[in-house]
Structure 1
Amino acid sequence: MKKIYMILAVLAISASSCKKDFIDLVPEDSYIGETFYKTPDQFRQAVIAAYTPLKDVLLNDYFTSEMHSDNSIYQPYPSNRGTAYIYREQISDFTNTSTNDYANAVWQHCYTGISRTNIVIERLPAATFDAAVKAPLDGEAKFLRAYYYFKLVRLYGGLPLFLKEVKNADDAFKKRATVDEVYAQIIADAKDAISELAPPAKFPQSGYATKGAATMLLAEVYATQKKWAEAETLLNTLSAMGYGLNANYADAFSPTNKNSKESIFEVQYLNGSVLGTSPNPLPFQFLPRSTNISIVLAAVVDGKGANINNSSTGGWNTPSQDLIDSYEPGDNRLDASIGIAEGTYNTSNLFVYSANKSIINYTPASGKVGVPYIKKYMHSPVATTLGTNDNFPIYRYSDALLLLAEAQNEQGKSPMTALSAVRSRAGLTTASADPGTLRNVIAHERRVELAFENHRWNDLVRTGKAIETVNAFGDKLRTQVNYLTSDAYKLNQNKLLFPIPQYEVELNPSGMIQNPGY
């Protein structure tokens, strides 16, 4: 982050040192900051630039969420001990340090997004077009800024609050604000976004943030702060905006059903919209690493699987046996979420696929092993060597229903309507129980309903279950794999937060005090 701001500051200082009466170096056919931010279209482009880091965040987010929990693990790769593999393994094993590039990338990309939103938010009031046109632009920028800060504060604790465009070197160095101060800003931004954005005009939606997205974000903030009544009030407004559950669980992830009524906010991939047209590389990263993954792809591309080599990118976010065992009999979300790649490992520790199998009642063929993989994002590759056509969900309506059930239960109210809606779609029934028992039922529902959507770690921390859950999972995992180090999965209070990136501490030692334990 500081590197970005320092570059911006140097550019700003250099620009101000040149006088127009000396020489005018600005090409008349090019834009600079002073001339670009004028029209609605130009501000729209600037807002789109603020969405773009969401994709960069997602490339690392699953390491700090699903893999940093009991939901998924990694495929060991003893043939390659480069730092890129070791760093990612360390996040999963809870042994990461302040120099871990993959954990630090989440910090870097979120602050990149924040810096872009700040430019829009600060420059928009001076624009001369109608206030009604400005409102949604400001609302989207504030939603994004709130989202980026919300992700950061939960991972790192107190943060430097950058709320204005950095224009000189001094602006680039701030002390860490308190957690309460960061949350106050998140809430302020989310409230502004709710007031400035409209509900979805139709379904499928455009992909841009809406009043519903800002409402869901603020509700989750309130739930994190255990302000249950405030969260409940917000969540109860979403159905009137047109949101609802799709008939089938798998429909929420199908590329033919993007931005549906169940989608509150999702990151866009290859859908032809102005938000971006790049394919989604994540599904290939979630398959066992191999020189040929065509057998799995054939199952989703009418039998015509491309020979794609993911040996340098795959092997991550493998569903844990603990998660698989947690699905109840008859839960249709299991088959929709997880598949089995069957085959063998060669002497280079690469997987040689022989079949793609259903996880339901799976038994390995003789001489073969079955490796579970995330199936819910595995659809037709539209760029055969780059990725798939799948969007990535940030907030879904089922998430809102389960958060509503939790908020109601914590207040002593009945959560059965919201909870039963989610479980009924999964093919399950719900028996009423006391609030203490229902707390565990709701937590279980969030785990399986939202599996691989990057909620699990935050849910464990929010509910106070992270330490006991992760340490128990580590004990169980040691009986299943042989690659864990002695300090893996030894979670304590300090490790509930990630360390501040070391380069931030070194650039600003008086303002960026490292988190305890690192």
Structure 2
Amino acid sequence: MNKIFLIAVLACTVISCKKDFIELSPEDEIAEASFYKTEAQFRMALTAAYQPLRDLETNDFYTGEMRSDNTHYQYYQINRGTAYTMRENIADFMDDPSNDYSNAVYFHCFRGVSRANIILDRIDGGTLTDAAKNDIVGQAKFLRAFNFFKLVRYFGGVPLFVHEVTDAEQSFLPRSTADQVYAQIVDDAKDAIAKLANPVFTSGKQNGQATKGSATMLLAEVYMVQKKYAEAETLLNTLPAMGYDLLANYSDVFSTTNKNSKESLFEVQYLEGLQGGQQSQFIYFFLPRSSNTTVITGVKTDNSGIGGWNTPTQDLIDAYEADDTLRKNASIAVAEGTYNSSNIFTFSANKSIINYKPAAGKVGVPYIRKYLNPHANPNNTNDNWPVYRYADALLLLAEAKNLQGKSAEALVPLNKVRARAFGNVTHNITTTDPAALTDIIAHERRVELAFENHRWHDLVRTGKAIDVMNAFGIKQKALYSYLSPASYQVDKNRLLYPIPQSERDLNVDLTQNDGYPQ
């Protein structure tokens, strides 16, 4: 907030003491002084603290998946506006501190932190039972930890706001170190684990809020980043007793009839409907740009202004084992049709990716099938976004065991995931060579968790990002003439995104990450 503006407002408040002037609150709204008192009010505030996650996920696939070798974009040569080039630049490693889409991740995360802080700072002034208070505090601390974890992985050390900002001076903090941010994340996640209850499965479904399992998975992933493998293993081993397990079929995981299932440790909630603005629309972003999507979605709409993003790469398609057809088919499909001179696609068929060959005179464009479910209205879907799944936990457990020299034990969770993927036909990994198993687990995470925003973080966490993405860039530049020679020049500086320039313009104490304009 502008400091001069805040001082002016305070001054006006002090000198303007007429009763009819200061009584401005509409009588049909709850005044702040009487809010944050009851359990119902704090749960309303908690709902508001979850909301930024929905905005986050409409940007996170650019920074978490398109930044990797899993997906790319469909180049739109007739429109070179910043809304297109900024998103392309993230994928091509040519982004800068003014990129609206990486900056949006920063802002949405801090919005979530801010709303969690308000709850945590004010809850002692409310009238709640101990059980209700523990639940609300646990969820708020999970959300704060989750957002800070997202921030520190993408941007490095960031300002560590752990209290509600009530005046301008509190708004301008310098960056804390990454270690300090991680220490706060660990403290919050531990407290969330202690306070939150196990998930409750009512008719096989959870309510979508964070649970002890959500916080456990979060902290386990933090420990994996910190190379605290024994601590991660201990946490991950507690999940089965909470009721988590794999669904029978891989494709079932992404059906909207199975939202918040026993495989879900945490997912961002969306709700199809014409009122409330709570719907998702991921499939429309991920399809080729078209004036009519009916062939794929069953609903006629024009997605030419929003489509063309997060397209599966041939590199990923080729990564699936030859008989990994069930998982591949559930993850990727092919939109078949033709492009016109304006690079707008006309769909003629929806095809399986398995052994696909285009019909005469047609081209096939792969798209992410995971987020295609029946819906009644255009740009209005019921798909949640998966953040943590039990399959993810099993593969992290396999990795943690292997990195501690327990390679034989690592095969158990690894092969449990593979058994489901291959239709419960024995397809076990048997090698106990630690180096070979490291690569196998990384591959398994890539195909199991494709398009769920894990690949870039996994590459960074395992120290593979620079080598993998430079090699991938060479292949991309051989395929696409529009890529600049300056693209895919990946070094250690590019493992972090830049701090938004707009924030640095407001706060002179914010330093910039190395490798970006200072």
TM-score clears 0.5 = yes
Match for 2:399: what amino acid? Answer: E
CA distance in 2, matches of 1:7, 1:390: 42
TM superposition shift of 1:69: 0.6
TM superposition shift of 1:278: 1.7
CA distance in 1, matches of 2:352, 2:17: 69
TM superposition shift of 1:506: 1.3
Change (3 A) 1:117 1:17: farther
TM superposition shift of 1:230: 0.4
Paired position in structure 1 for 2:360: 366
Change (3 A) 1:142 1:296: same
Contact 1:61 1:454 in 2 (8 A): yes
Structure 2 unaligned regions, length at least 5: none
SS of the aligned residue for 2:309 comes to coil
Contact 2:54 2:268 in 1 (8 A): yes
Q: Residues 408-462 of structure 1, C-alpha deviation per residue, up to 9 Å, x if partnerless? A: 0000012011000001111133222301100000000110000000011110000
Contact 1:158 1:178 in 2 (8 A): yes
CA distance in 2, matches of 1:223, 1:15: 51
Contact 1:8 1:167 in 2 (8 A): no
Matched, 1:321 2:314: yes
Paired position in structure 2 for 1:287: 287
Contact 1:9 1:168 in 2 (8 A): no
Contact 2:66 2:91 in 1 (8 A): yes
Paired position in structure 1 for 2:503: 504
Q: Residues 45-79 of structure 1, C-alpha deviation per residue, up to 9 Å, x if partnerless? A: 00000100001001110000110010000000001
TM superposition shift of 1:479: 2.1
Contact 1:204 1:260 in 2 (8 A): yes
Paired position in structure 1 for 2:511: 513
Q: Residues 349-408 of structure 1, C-alpha deviation per residue, up to 9 Å, x if partnerless? A: 1111111100000001111111000001101124x1223211110000000000000000
SS of the aligned residue for 1:376 comes to helix
Contact 1:47 1:120 in 2 (8 A): yes
Change (3 A) 1:18 1:319: farther
Change (3 A) 1:216 1:271: farther
Match for 2:363: what amino acid? Answer: V
Of 377, 382, 386, which residue of structure 1 is paired with 2:379? 386
Paired position in structure 1 for 2:342: 348
Change (3 A) 1:463 1:490: same
Q: Residues 83-110 of structure 1, C-alpha deviation per residue, up to 9 Å, x if partnerless? A: 1001000001000000001110000111
Match for 1:333: what amino acid? Answer: R
Match for 2:342: what amino acid? Answer: S
Of 397, 404, 408, which residue of structure 2 is paired with 1:411? 404
More moved, 314-323 vs 483-492: 483-492
More moved, 471-480 vs 169-178: 471-480
TM superposition shift of 1:9: 9.3
TM superposition shift of 1:235: 0.3
Change (3 A) 1:129 1:284: same
Change (3 A) 1:503 1:214: same
TM superposition shift of 1:129: 2.1
Change (3 A) 1:432 1:99: same
Contact 1:161 1:177 in 2 (8 A): yes
RMSD: 2.0
CA distance in 2, matches of 1:467, 1:26: 55
Paired position in structure 1 for 2:235: 234
Q: Percent identity?
A: 57
TM superposition shift of 1:30: 2.1
CA distance in 2, matches of 1:154, 1:322: 25
Contact 1:284 1:387 in 2 (8 A): no
CA distance in 1, matches of 2:267, 2:7: 33
CA distance in 2, matches of 1:8, 1:388: 42
Match for 2:33: what amino acid? Answer: E
Match for 2:393: what amino acid? Answer: A
Paired position in structure 2 for 1:296: 296
Matching of residues 117-266 of structure 1 within 5 Å: 117-202=116-201, 203-266=204-267
Matched, 1:306 2:299: yes
Paired position in structure 2 for 1:302: none
CA distance in 2, matches of 1:463, 1:196: 31
Paired position in structure 2 for 1:426: 421
Match for 1:516: what amino acid? Answer: D
Structure 1 unaligned regions, length at least 5: 298-304
More moved, 154-163 vs 16-25: 16-25
Change (3 A) 1:33 1:211: same
TM superposition shift of 1:25: 3.1
Paired position in structure 1 for 2:39: 40
Contact 1:263 1:396 in 2 (8 A): yes
Q: Residues 183-235 of structure 1, C-alpha deviation per residue, up to 9 Å, x if partnerless? A: 01001111111111101121300001000000000000000100000000000
Match for 2:447: what amino acid? Answer: V
Change (3 A) 1:7 1:184: farther
The number of equivalent residue pairs is 505
Match for 1:484: what amino acid? Answer: L
CA distance in 2, matches of 1:109, 1:102: 11
Paired position in structure 2 for 1:490: 489
CA distance in 1, matches of 2:210, 2:9: 31
Change (3 A) 1:516 1:23: closer
CA distance in 2, matches of 1:405, 1:279: 35
TM superposition shift of 1:130: 1.7
CA distance in 1, matches of 2:246, 2:364: 32
CA distance in 2, matches of 1:7, 1:262: 50
More moved, 358-367 vs 9-18: 9-18
Contact 1:270 1:279 in 2 (8 A): yes
CA distance in 1, matches of 2:443, 2:165: 44
CA distance in 2, matches of 1:291, 1:253: 26
SS of the aligned residue for 1:381 comes to coil
Match for 1:262: what amino acid? Answer: E
Contact 2:272 2:381 in 1 (8 A): no
CA distance in 2, matches of 1:454, 1:472: 20
TM superposition shift of 1:33: 2.1
